[in-house]
């Protein structure tokens, strides 16, 4: 998405929506507004748009929060997760070390989306079918 589209979206849609929501909710809001964008191109860092790195008490909801980059899973993190979730996982794990190596090799070295896909594949779970219904 080009920067000018994001600026227009924030000014013409998001800010008015936030203002209307705040006007219509008394004291403690019952509902929260969330809008997520995924920066696949890595261009947001060069945009001249105000972002909050970490919301604080003076942060205003119309200012988007810039989340940190998603980190790859390490071998240690996957091993820990497997051990902690072993009772809930299908019986595809005979050798944790081999499974972790397989997952990392088939997930661009730990990219979360591909880790999820590989674990589902090893579990004979069609994750695309499951998530497509949501």
DSSP-assigned beta bridge partners for residue 52:
65
Against a cut of 0.85, is the pTM above it?
no
At 125 the pLDDT is 76
How far is Cα 48 from Cα 65, in angstroms, rounded to an integer?
14
For all residues of the chain together, what is the average pLDDT? 84
Euclidean distance between CA atoms 2 and 51, whole angstroms: 16
What's the rounded mean pLDDT across residues 107-131? Answer: 82
DSSP 48: -
64, 7 contact by CB (below 8 A): no
pLDDT in tens, 37-95: 878 788 888 899 988 888 888 888 888 888 888 889 999 999 998 888 877 777 666 77
Residues 99/115, Cβ–Cβ less than 8 Å: no
Q: Of all residues in the chain, what percent carry a pLDDT higher than 90? A: 32
């Amino acid at each position: 998405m080009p920067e000018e589209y994001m600026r227009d979206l924030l000014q013409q849609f998001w800010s008015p929506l936030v203002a209307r929501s705040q006007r219509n909710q008394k004291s403690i809001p019952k509902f929260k507004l969330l809008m997520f964008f995924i920066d696949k191109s890595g261009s947001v860092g060069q945009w001249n748009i105000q972002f909050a790195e970490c919301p604080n008490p003076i942060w205003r909801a119309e200012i988007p929060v810039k989340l940190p980059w998603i980190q790859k899973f390490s071998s240690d993190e996957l091993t820990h997760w497997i051990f902690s979730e072993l009772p809930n996982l299908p019986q595809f794990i005979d050798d944790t070390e081999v499974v972790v190596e397989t997952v990392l090799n088939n997930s661009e070295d730990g990219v979360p989306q591909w880790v999820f896909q590989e674990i589902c594949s090893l579990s004979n779970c069609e994750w695309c079918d499951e998530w497509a219904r949501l």
